[in-house]
Amino acid sequence: MLKKLTASKCSQLLEQRKDFLTCGCLTDVTLLDLYLWKTWTASNNTGQSEGLCNQCINPHTRLFIAGAYRTHVGLVVDNLYTKGQKEPEVTKHHLHAQIQRLVAKYNSVAGFHHGKGLIILLPEDSDNEDDNDLN
C-alpha cells in the first residue's frame, strides 16, 4: 500500500540521507574513489605505468581504502578537488591541509588544549605579514 508523504516527513527523510547516494554509499567515499580511479597509477621497474582503467573497486574495499587514505595521508575529498589550480599551488594546498591535521592530531595526543601546544604558521595563515618585520 502506498502512503502519501507529508512535506515534513519528506524533508526528514532527505535530511537522514543527506550524505548518501541512492545506492547507500557515502558521497565522500564515492568521490574519493572517483578521484583515485582517475589519478592513481602504478609503474614497474621499466617505467611502464597504468591506471585503474576498467577496474572497479567493490564498495566494501572502497570504504577501507577511503579510511586508510584519510588516516595516513591526512586529506579529505574537499582537499583533492583543486578548482582549476595548477602546480605548485595544488601541492602547497595539499601540504597545508596535511600539516594542519598533523598539528591538531599531535596536540590532541600530547594533551594540549585551548591554543596551547604545537603552533605552525604557514604563509597563508600569517595575514601576509613580512617575515623581516620580526627582527
Q: What is the pLDDT of residues 26-60, one digit of tens each?
A: 888 888 888 888 888 899 999 999 988 878 888 88
Nearest CA to 32 out of 48, 52, 13 is that of 52
Confidence of residue 1 (pLDDT cuts 50, 70, 90): low
3-class DSSP assignment, residue 42 = strand
d(CA 54, CA 85): 28
Which residue is associated with the grid cell 547516494? 21
Element (H, E) at 50: strand 49-51
What's residue 53's pLDDT?
A: 80
Q: What is the pLDDT of residues 94-130, one digit of tens each?
A: 888 888 888 888 899 999 887 788 888 777 655 444 4
pTM for the full model? 0.60
Element (H, E) at 43: strand 41-43
d(CA 61, CA 47): 28
What's residue 25's pLDDT?
A: 82
